[in-house]
Structures are given as structure tokens and as C-alpha cells.
């Protein structure tokens, strides 16, 4: 019997209760065969340091000013250290503008900013495609092609 793991997408929670975007994304991702798992910032930091998985996709939703303030207090300071591991692909969904630090994050090519309003179904298709592309990328041989002789 062949075992195929169900792909997991992580959702960074800023509070103890889950926000409404979590449920919409969870429903759409479940229809596509993904599991959406809520994590807190300290769990995310541990996940990045312990796991062997290279393709960790993390979503974070910031809808109102209260969440924006929590994001700046809890996540923003640790985000640059978590992103340096290059194991985490962080997608920030926000109704606010980009962070001032996003210039620093964009060089690492694992920070993505998406502005609300977003269609949950379309977003989930993009996330699934991104996950598949990153999975294919990590399974390829990193070296070039072997040189061959040219026959005349």
C-alpha cells in the first residue's frame, strides 16, 4: 500500500480564537485536498527549527486595526528571523498596506503580500499551485546537466 501524505498549510493566528478568514480558507483548501492548521508564532518558530520539511507555507490574515497592532507586536519582530531559515514561505493577507520591512523580506523570495479583498476560492487555487511548484522545485536535482560529447 502506497502512503501519500496530505499536504498541510499553516495559518498563523494572532489571538486565541480563530478569525473568520480561517474558516473560508479551510473550506476551500479542504475541497482541494489540503489541511489548514492553525499555529501561533512561538509554534511557528519551533516548526521552522525542528522540521525537515523545506516547503512550509504559512498564511497570516490581518483584517482590522486590532489584528494589525497584534501583528506588529508579536509577529513582525520574529518574522525576519523565521524567514531567514528559507524553509518557510510566508503569505500575508491584509487589508492594510505592506510593511515597511517588506523590502527586506522580498529579497529572500519567501515573503508574499496579498491585499484584501480576495476571493477565497481563487486564493486557494493560487496557494495549491504555489505549493505544487515548490514541491517540484525541491525534488529536482540542484546541479546542471552533465556535459556530453558532440558527435560529428
Name the CATH topology of 8-138.
Answer: Rossmann fold (3.40.50)
Model confidence at 121: pLDDT above 50:
yes
**pLDDT score of 45:** 75
Residue 85 DSSP code? T
Query: What residues does each domain of the chain span?
Result: 8-138
Q: Give the separation between CA 59 and CA 50, rounded to whole angstroms.
A: 19
Given phi > 0 = left and psi -120 to 50 = alpha, else beta, which region is 76? alpha
Percentage of the chain lying above the pLDDT 70 cut: 75
Q: Cα dist. 42→48, 78, 79, 89 in Å?
A: 10, 9, 11, 16
**pLDDT score of 1:** 40
Amino acid at each position: 500500500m502506497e502512503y501519500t501524505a496530505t499536504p498541510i498549510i499553516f495559518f498563523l493566528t494572532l489571538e486565541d480564537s480563530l478569525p473568520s478568514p480561517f474558516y473560508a480558507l479551510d473550506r476551500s483548501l479542504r475541497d482541494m485536498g489540503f489541511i489548514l492548521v492553525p499555529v501561533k508564532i512561538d509554534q511557528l518558530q519551533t516548526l521552522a527549527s525542528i522540521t525537515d520539511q523545506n516547503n512550509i507555507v504559512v498564511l497570516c490574515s490581518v483584517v482590522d486595526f486590532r489584528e494589525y497592532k497584534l501583528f506588529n507586536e508579536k509577529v513582525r519582530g520574529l518574522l525576519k528571523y523565521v524567514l531567514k531559515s528559507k524553509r518557510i514561505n510566508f503569505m500575508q493577507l491584509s487589508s492594510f498596506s505592506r510593511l515597511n520591512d517588506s523590502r527586506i523580506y522580498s529579497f529572500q523570495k519567501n515573503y508574499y503580500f496579498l491585499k484584501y479583498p480576495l476571493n477565497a476560492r481563487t486564493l486557494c487555487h493560487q496557494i495549491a499551485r504555489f505549493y505544487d511548484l515548490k514541491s517540484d522545485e525541491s525534488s529536482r536535482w540542484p546541479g546542471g546537466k552533465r556535459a556530453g560529447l558532440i558527435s560529428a
